[in-house]
């Protein structure tokens, strides 16, 4: 059982370039999320999805786009990368009506540097 | 505007002693609270949670206390072990009847715990 898989683990991107961070879960969770964690800060929600075909903005969506064509996959697209997007990105999934942790499972993260 | 605050960025305790990690929140609409543990180069993992209708939840060495009137929760680890050294995040969920995005957690900045042998 792989859980939540993120690729790549590390990446260096040049200013103005674009890339897609991949996220796949095999737990049949309906909810999926993208968070970013800046140094010394908590996790901030970028986008989330409550099911295939449905996405919505979180707290810090600017500069990002997402899509959810299947239950398993939730890629995060960075367009015109900026240094402010240097961060560690975490994908998570959950099955929201399942206690005690709502089945909230995180991937191991993608460390992205924009230079 | 930080709704979930962890005011201590770091904490150092001796092995075998109690570790107390604190978390304050400002939004009275939160109805569920969770603690996550994060090791370097890994994603956060769930540790323990508590509903707003309770004031205590215990799981082995870990106990979470909730004081709703003070909008404060704490995580107690007894006894502390070197393997507990990690960053601990407090997170909160808004009640579904109070707007916001269903299923989303709001995280604090984390407290780095170091347990010395």
**Three-class secondary structure assignment of A34-47:** EEEECCCCCEEEEE
Which residues in chain A touch residue B31, judged by CB atoms under 8 angstroms apart?
none
| Domains of chain A, CATH where assigned | 4-109 (2.60.40.10)
Measured between alpha carbons, how far is A43 from A106 in angstroms, rounded to an integer? 12
Express as a percent the part of chain B with pLDDT over 90: 74
Q: What is the mean pLDDT of residues A29-44?
A: 89
Query: Is B62 an 8 Å CB contact of chain A?
Result: no
| Domains of chain B, CATH where assigned | 4-116 (2.60.40.10)
Whether pLDDT at B96 is above 70 = no
Whether pLDDT at B99 is above 90 = no
Q: What is the mean pLDDT of residues B34-49?
A: 92
Query: Is B11 an 8 Å CB contact of chain A?
Result: no
CB-based contact B34 A41, cutoff 8 Å: no
Task: Give A72→chain B minimum CA distance, Å.
Answer: 17
Strand intervals (E) in chain B: 4-5, 10-14, 19-25, 30-38, 45-51, 56-59, 62-67, 72-77, 86-94, 105-107, 111-116
Query: Is B46 an 8 Å CB contact of chain A?
Result: yes
Phi and psi at B83, nearest 5°, equal: -70, -10
Helix (H, G, I), strand (E, B) or coil at B82: helix
Please, which pLDDT band fits residue B112 given cuts at 50, 70 and 90?
A: very high
Tokens of B14: 């001796």
Give tens-digit pLDDT for B62-88. 999 999 999 999 999 999 999 999 999
Chain A interface, Cβ < 8 Å to B: 4, 31, 33, 35, 40-45, 48, 50, 56, 58, 90, 92, 94, 96, 99-102, 104-109
């Amino acid at each position: 059982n792989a859980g939540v898989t993120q690729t790549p683990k590390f990446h260096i991107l040049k200013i103005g370039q674009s890339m897609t961070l991949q996220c796949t879960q095999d737990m049949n969770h309906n909810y999926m999320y993208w968070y970013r964690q800046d140094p010394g800060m908590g996790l901030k929600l970028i986008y989330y999805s409550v099911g295939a075909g449905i996405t919505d903005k979180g707290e810090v969506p600017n500069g990002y786009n997402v899509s959810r064509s299947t239950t398993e996959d939730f890629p995060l697209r960075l367009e015109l990368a900026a240094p402010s997007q240097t961060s560690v990105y975490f994908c998570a999934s959950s099955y929201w009506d399942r206690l005690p942790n709502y089945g909230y499972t995180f991937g191991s993260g993608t460390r992205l540097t924009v230079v | 505007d930080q709704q979930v605050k962890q005011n201590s960025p770091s904490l150092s305790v001796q092995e075998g002693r109690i570790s107390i990690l604190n978390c304050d929140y400002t939004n009275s609409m939160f109805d569920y609270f969770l603690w996550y543990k994060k090791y370097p180069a890994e994603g956060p993992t769930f540790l323990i949670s508590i509903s707003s209708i309770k004031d205590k939840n215990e799981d082995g060495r870990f106990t979470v206390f909730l004081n709703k009137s003070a909008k404060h929760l704490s995580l107690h680890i007894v006894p502390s072990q070197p393997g507990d050294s990690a960053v601990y995040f407090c997170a909160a969920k808004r009640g579904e009847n109070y707007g916001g995005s269903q299923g989303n957690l709001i995280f604090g900045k984390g407290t780095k715990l170091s347990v010395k042998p």
